[in-house]
Amino acid sequence: MSALLSTGRSDRGTSARSGRGPGRRGGPGRRRRLTDEAAGWSFAGPSTLLVLGFSLLPMGWALRLSLTDSDLVTEGQGVGLDNYRALADDPVFWRSIRNTLELTGLYIPISLLLGLGIALLLNKPIRGIGFYRACFLVPFVASAAAEGLLMAFVFDKDFGVVNGLITRAGLPAQGFLDDPSQAMFVITGIFIWTQFGFNVVIYLAALQEIPAEVLEAAAIDGAGPWRTFRHIVVPSVRPISLFLAVWGLIDCLQFFDLLMTSTKGGPVNSTITIVYYVWQLAFEYFTAGYGAAVAYALFAGSLVAIVIGLVFGRRKGFLL
């Protein structure tokens, strides 16, 4: 991303130069500059307006809304910071935070390790790489709504196929998504299954960037697989690991679709996440003002988490 932006700057430098000097194809510079402006904005304007309009405008509106008791349809009265104060005493809010943290804490390390491990296995001229890559990406590409229904079926405690296999093996049947103490772990496992193919593809691209000479030199120096991994592979993919960790964090914070078709946050809020709670507050309970406050609290928290993650992760080299 930084490469993209810096290229932009250098391009502008050259344009300023050619604008001031005599134009290569002649013509008065001023008029050419005006038509350039018009052409540029007529190409870039529609997308820019749409993207900014559907993000900045609602973002400001949400802030205003979070200071009211709006019921979604009417404006509501201004209530100052009452919505934010109410968060402190809202057990469901804290439960949704705890669940989201549990999800993130399990998802990021496991999906990064699995992603890198499988990418390493695929990172040799290997027959059938297209087949393998497709297999790992299928759950990523299929919709979370369908996957939620499928998994609710597979993990059903009474007639699901997983309990069928478990009991055939002579073990006791489990509650899975119906058991408040298990549901969040089962959901996390399903989420990892659906998402980590993305990490495989991204890691694979990063591994293929490592120059072959570096690996050959290491081999000549007598480095075994573990030392090569530790001292060459891990440092080379560190920026990608950081990116995937931040990406995974965003995915976890927005975790919703799978819940909607599997547990709907239950049983007894054991799988409710922050986004699911925001959705419930605004569109089921019609407390849009409070919902907006929860969303803003989440946004502020996640920005802080991302900044800390970026600074800390880069400095300490913690992430893979």
Partner 1 sequence: MTTAPAPPASAPPAPARRRRPSARHLVLLPLSLLMVVPFVYMLGASVMTRAQLNRFPPPLVPPGMDLTGYRELLSDSEFPRWFLNSVLVAGAIVTSQVVLCSMAGYAFARLRFSGRRTALVLVIATTLIPFQLTVIPTFLIFHRLHLINTLGALIAPQLASALGVYLMTSFFQNFPRELEEAARIDGCSRWGVFFRVVLPVARPALVALAVITFIYAWNDLFWPLVAISSSENYTVQAGLTTFQGQHRADWPQIMAGTVLTTVPVLIVFLVGQRRFVQALAGAVKG
* CB burial string 63-79: b at 16+ within 10 A, e below: eebbbbbbeeeeebeeb
Binding of partner 1 by 185 (CB under 8 A): no
* Amino acid found at 99: N
Residues 6+ apart with CB under 8 A from 277: 92, 93, 96, 265, 294
Which of 106, 149, 218, 223 contacts partner 1 by CB under 8 A? 149
Window 31 to 60, contacts with partner 1 (CB under 8 A): 36-37, 39-41, 43-44, 46-48, 50-52, 54-59
Binding of partner 1 by 3 (CB under 8 A): yes
CA distance linking residue 135 with residue 48, whole number of Å: 36
Binding of partner 1 by 97 (CB under 8 A): no
Work out how close the CB of 94 gets to partner 1 at its nearest, in angstroms, rounded to a whole number: 18
Please check whether residue 282 is in contact with residue 292, taking contact to mean a CB–CB distance below 8 angstroms: yes
Region near partner 1 per CB under 8 A, out of 177-185, 210-218, 230-238, 297-305 = 297-305
Which of 101, 143, 308, 312 contacts partner 1 by CB under 8 A? 143
Which of 102, 106, 243, 310 contacts partner 1 by CB under 8 A? 243
Please check whether residue 125 is in contact with residue 209, taking contact to mean a CB–CB distance below 8 angstroms: no
CA distance linking residue 234 with residue 240, whole number of Å: 10
Work out how close the CB of 169 gets to partner 1 at its nearest, in angstroms, rounded to a whole number: 11
Region near partner 1 per CB under 8 A, out of 77-85, 88-96, 100-108, 273-281 = 273-281
Binding of partner 1 by 316 (CB under 8 A): no
* CB burial string 231-240: b at 16+ within 10 A, e below: ebbeeebbeb
Please check whether residue 170 is in contact with residue 159, taking contact to mean a CB–CB distance below 8 angstroms: no
Binding of partner 1 by 234 (CB under 8 A): no
Region near partner 1 per CB under 8 A, out of 86-94, 129-137, 215-223, 311-319 = 129-137
Q: How many residues bind partner 1 (CB under 8 A)?
A: 113
Region near partner 1 per CB under 8 A, out of 84-92, 95-103, 128-136, 310-318 = 128-136
CA distance linking residue 7 with residue 2, whole number of Å: 9
Binding of partner 1 by 136 (CB under 8 A): yes
Binding of partner 1 by 219 (CB under 8 A): no
Region near partner 1 per CB under 8 A, out of 102-110, 178-186, 215-223, 288-296 = 288-296
Which of 81, 101, 113, 146 contacts partner 1 by CB under 8 A? 146
CA-nearest of 277, 248, 270, 108 to 186 is: 270
- 60, two tokens: 């400001």
The total of other beta-carbon atoms located within 10 Å of residue 263's CB is 25
* Amino acid found at 242: L
Binding of partner 1 by 286 (CB under 8 A): no
Which of 86, 92, 106, 201 contacts partner 1 by CB under 8 A? 201
Which of 89, 91, 159, 181 contacts partner 1 by CB under 8 A? 159
CA distance linking residue 92 with residue 270, whole number of Å: 10
Binding of partner 1 by 178 (CB under 8 A): no
- Report CA Rg, the chain: 25
- 213, two tokens: 């000479």
Binding of partner 1 by 62 (CB under 8 A): yes
Binding of partner 1 by 224 (CB under 8 A): no
Region near partner 1 per CB under 8 A, out of 84-92, 95-103, 160-168, 227-235 = 160-168
Residue 22, preceding bond cis, omega within 30 degrees? Answer: no
